[in-house]
Every structure is written in C-alpha cells, then in structure tokens.
Amino acid sequence: MWGVGRIIMKLLEELSRRPELEKDFCFVLYFKDTVPDFPFLNAPIFEKKMVPVPFFRNRLFPIYYLVLLPIKLWFAKLDVMFWPAYMLPIGTLTKSFALMTEDVYYEAFKGNASFQHRFFYGVFGTYSAKFATKLLAISETSKHNICQVYKVNPNRVVVNCLGIDFSKPTTYDLRPTTFPYVLYVGQAFPRRHLQETILAFEKVVTEHSNILQNIRMSELKLIAIGPDKYKTPTIKNLVSEVNSKLKREAIIHKDYVKDDELADLYAGASALVYVSDREAFGLPPMEALSFGVPPVIADNELGHELFGEYAFYAEGSDVGGITKAVRQALIDSEKIEKIKFDGPDFVKKYNWKSFTDKWLEIVRSLN
C-alpha cells in the first residue's frame, strides 16, 4: 500500500489503540464500495458509513469523493472533515483539514499525467490549497514549497512528519538472500530515476569493481520494488537488457511485496537508492535508515532537513551522479558504520504515535 492509503491506515491503526479518546471523539469513516478487512477498523471509536456510486462498483472515485460524499456531509453535521486525497470538493461546508503536497501542483500544471488526472488536481487541488481551513504538510520543506506554488498564507499550513513502520531487527545481519544487494523501493515515477539507477548500478559493477573489495561484485544485485510509472513502460525491458549484458540476473524487479518480505529486504540491503527530484517526505529511505541501511538520496533541501549526516547524497540525478553516490555508500566504511549503529536511533522521532498526536492536536484546534 502506497502514499495516502498507507498514511490513512497507519493513522487509523494508531487511533484504534486509544480507547480513552471515546470520551471526546467519534471518528466517522466513509467508504465507497467496501470496508477493508482490517481488524483495527472494528474499534468502538469508529463509525463506518458507505457512500456507493450506483451502477459503477469499484469505479468513478471522483464522483464518490467530489460529489456524493460532500452531499452526504451536508446532512452529517460533523465538526471537522479530514480530506486525505489532496482535493477539497467545491461546496464543502464543514471545517476542512486537507493533506497537501507540492506534487499536486506539479502533476496538474507541469507533469505528463492524463487529462483527467491534471483536471481534477488542477481544479480541486487548487481549491483545497486556497479554501481548506487548514492544510497538512509532511515536512518543513514541503510546507515552504506549498506556500510558494499556491501563494497561500503559511499560517494555514501545519507540518506533521510521517511515521516509520519498521524497526531494526534483533540481529542486524538478517539476510533473506545469500548475495549482497542494493535496494530500490517506491512507485517508479520518472522523477525517482529508477531508469538512471539501473544504469548506474551497471556502471558500478562493471567499472568500479576494483575499488569495492568488501563487496562480492560478481554477486552484487539490484532489487527494485515498485510498479513502473513511466509514461511509456520502461523498466521491464531495461532490466532484461542490462541482465543480458551482465550475463546474469543482476537486477530483480517486482511490482509489490508483502510487508514482512519488505522488512527482510530492508534488513539485508547494503544500501537503498531513492534519488528523487521532488518529494514531500519520502518514506523508503527513512524506513531503510531505521534498519541501519545507508540511504542514497538527492542532494536537496528536503534530504538535508530529514536526514542530515545519515545519508549519502547524489550530486545529480543523472547516471554519473547516482553512480558516484552508490559507490560511496558501498565503500565509505566509517560513515556506513555510523549509519548502521546510530541511524535507527536517529529515526525514532519519526513515528506514527507522534504523527497521530499532532493530527489530534490540529483537529482539536479546529473544533
């Protein structure tokens, strides 16, 4: 589960663990087609309601989210409504609290998304930025960018950093494989440069094997987890091409894995590569750091805000910049050891309990 879905799931899971909130709150949860089979949704603090789209089961999310749900809310008399999908329906009367990232702006006005995608983000994302009672940003850098692109008052934007799901295992060198590997996790949008990462990996194993004495370079692999989101599908053919050139299965690509498998993959990785031109937070490198695994990230304001000295920074998102950063993440033993032993403690401040505490504080301020 990616993005907004993951945030909502973790928030509700944390709320379900707090029965004392029943004295002051009732959380009404709205669903379009079905209620997911998550045990925490059965907590007494949650009231579940359906808003189905007639004749179009499992389809037409915009009609549900932007038309039918707002009509339902006119009669619900709620105190506050949290809108997590970056868009605020026009005509919303309830006090509103909306998740927002600068990606919504770029997807609407600068990206290559479908017309429908750009239309909804352009109209309802902009409406949310302008008229939601409060906006939720997930980093200080993202708040600055939101205020800049949408020209909104910073006082309307509240920062609440995301939490981390995983933690360092009892035995650090828990390896689900017998070979060393570099890991990539995340939906493969062009801005996250999986294509360049694959080509950089090829250069690392073919051109720099003489300086990577601590790694079995003939066995080193790149494991990439996440669906191909390039406008023209790119990753499958590129993986096949590079594997053919290297004459072995050096690169493994999967669209999805289960959470327990992902935790094992984090635990055993030599490094994680997540060089993204634009992120509001970016969970995978922080999740990797929680295992003491060195993240390779873009050298930008967000990276330094969140990671400080606990990351290797790619000077560019091209093949050369990523190659150099990955190489350093494999050979800089002093920094690798620091990240291995101190990284898990560094990320403890990013947790879902703190996220939920702040979220509740914002809700109370709006009531």
**355, HSE (Cβ side, Cα atoms, 13 Å):** 23
Question: From CA 14, how far away is CA 287, in angstroms rounded?
Answer: 18
Which residue from 59, 50, 123, 60 is spatially nearest to 86, judged by alpha carbons? Answer: 123
pLDDT per residue as tens, the chain (367 positions): 667 888 999 999 999 999 999 999 999 999 988 898 999 999 999 999 998 887 665 567 888 888 899 999 999 989 999 999 999 999 888 899 999 999 899 888 887 777 888 899 999 999 999 999 999 999 999 999 999 999 999 999 999 999 887 654 444 344 445 788 999 999 999 999 999 999 999 999 988 766 665 566 678 999 999 999 998 999 999 999 999 999 999 999 999 988 888 889 999 999 999 999 988 888 899 999 999 999 999 999 999 999 999 999 999 999 999 999 999 999 999 999 999 999 999 999 999 999 999 999 999 999 7
Alpha carbon 112 to chain centroid distance? 20
Question: From CA 336, how far away is CA 288, in angstroms rounded?
Answer: 13
Does this model's pTM top 0.85? no
Q: How far is CA 190 from CA 121, 145, 197, 218, 277, in A?
A: 19, 20, 11, 29, 9
271, amino acid identity: A
* Residue carrying structure tokens 């017998």: 178
Q: How far is CA 70 from CA 26, 83, 96, 126, 153, in A?
A: 19, 11, 12, 17, 25
Tell me if 228 sits within 8 A of 234, measured CB to CB.
Answer: yes
The domains of the chain, with CATH numbers, are 3-163+351-366 (3.40.50.2000), 181-349 (3.40.50.2000)
Strands 157-159 and 134-137: parallel
Exposed, middle or buried, 43 (CB in 10 Å: 0-12/13-18/19+)? middle
Helix (H), strand (E), coil (C) string for 82-143: EECCCCCCCCCCCEEEEECCHHHHHHHHCCCCCHHHHHHHHHHHHHHHHHCCEEEECCHHHH
Question: From CA 73, how far away is CA 261, in angstroms rounded?
Answer: 40
